[in-house]
């Protein structure tokens, strides 16, 4: 069987699954990773015969995907913010919308360094998971020292793999513990992508069978971990610092209301994504 025939067979199998949005593309991705080629090379080699071992592995991967396993877990890789990261089922699969959080964190950090005429900044990434947020910020803000916290020791093992992969082990410090508790000092910027999926949403998520529930489950309304994080802010962020938290669709009003009550003198704003969804909340922390 040649590559063209294998791709067609894989796409036809995946097309029968309701949660596969682009069967042809996903078939291509799986085979590209098996062959270790880019997309251009794959299509140049369409008439090339697949050896039995690779053909068998492709069939296995297509079968796993057809049962609902996410592609990132099958190929052990996910692109995020222009970088490739190792991913497995110990961690949540990074979402494209979280890149908005990274963009805002980088922008604020650079402005902070300029405004304070400083050559260093301390940042915390709460619930770091695979480390993609902390590492992406570190790659773009070389003056930053970043704490990455997570309650899951297995998740931190994956984050450590990615820190080594991207050569930031000297600037990203991984700490095990719940939310802000492990932070050894107040930080200038605090970034968080806490679990905010509601129980009703979890029941409808095909990937929830494979992704760690600890990284998804935000409680009945999806706000449990977000509000617990707010309760821990005092003493963990320097006055004049910034807090950036990713939130779920439709959660902005309740989140802003809670922040206004807890931090009445702080400036609060939401950040919209390209679809106009309030995807993050930003708090200019005054210390009360």
**Rounded to whole angstroms, how far apart are CA atoms 102 and 98?**
7
* Multiple choice CATH, 3-68, 1.10.287, 2.60.40, 1.10.8, 2.30.30: 1.10.8
Q: How would residue 95 be classed by pLDDT, with cut points 50, 70 and 90?
A: very high
Q: Note the pLDDT of residue 288.
A: 66
Residue 207 has pLDDT above 90, yes or no: no
| In this structure, CATH architecture of domain 96-284 | 3-Layer(aba) Sandwich (3.40)
Residue 133 has pLDDT above 70, yes or no: yes
Q: How would residue 151 be classed by pLDDT, with cut points 50, 70 and 90?
A: very high
Q: What is the pLDDT of residues 54-80, one digit of tens each?
A: 999 999 999 999 999 999 999 999 999
Q: Where are the domains of the chain?
A: 3-68, 96-284
- Which residues, at least 6 apart from 127, have a Cβ–Cβ distance to it below 8 Å? 149, 150, 151, 179, 192, 193, 194, 195, 215, 225
Whole-structure pTM value: 0.94
Q: How would residue 206 be classed by pLDDT, with cut points 50, 70 and 90?
A: confident
């Amino acid at each position: 069987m040649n590559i063209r025939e294998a791709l067609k067979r894989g796409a036809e199998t995946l097309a029968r699954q309701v949660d596969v949005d682009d069967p042809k593309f996903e078939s291509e991705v799986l085979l590209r990773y098996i062959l270790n080629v880019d997309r251009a090379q794959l299509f140049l080699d369409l008439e090339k015969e697949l050896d039995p071992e690779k053909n068998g592995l492709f069939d296995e991967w297509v079968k796993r995907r057809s049962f609902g396993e996410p592609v990132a877990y099958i190929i052990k890789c996910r692109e995020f913010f222009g970088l490739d990261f190792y991913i497995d089922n110990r961690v949540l699969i990074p979402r494209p919308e979280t890149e908005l959080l990274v963009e805002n964190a980088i922008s604020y950090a650079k402005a902070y360094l300029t405004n304070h005429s400083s050559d260093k900044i301390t940042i915390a990434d709460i619930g770091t998971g695979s480390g993609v947020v902390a590492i992406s910020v570190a790659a773009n803000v070389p003056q930053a020292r970043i704490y990455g916290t997570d309650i899951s020791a297995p998740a931190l093992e994956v984050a450590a793999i990615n820190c080594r992969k991207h050569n930031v082990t000297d600037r990203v410090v991984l700490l095990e513990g719940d939310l802000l508790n492990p932070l050894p000092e107040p930080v200038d910027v605090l970034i968080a992508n806490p679990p905010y999926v509601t129980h009703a949403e979890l029941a409808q998520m095909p990937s929830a069978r494979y992704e760690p529930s600890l990284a998804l489950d935000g409680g009945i309304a999806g706000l449990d971990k977000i509000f617990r994080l707010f309760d821990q802010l005092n003493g963990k962020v320097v006055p004049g610092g910034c807090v950036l938290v990713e939130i779920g669709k439709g959660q902005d009003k309740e989140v802003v209301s809670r922040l206004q009550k807890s931090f009445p003198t702080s400036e609060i704003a939401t950040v919209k994504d390209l679809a106009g969804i309030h995807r993050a909340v930003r708090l200019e922390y005054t210390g009360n």
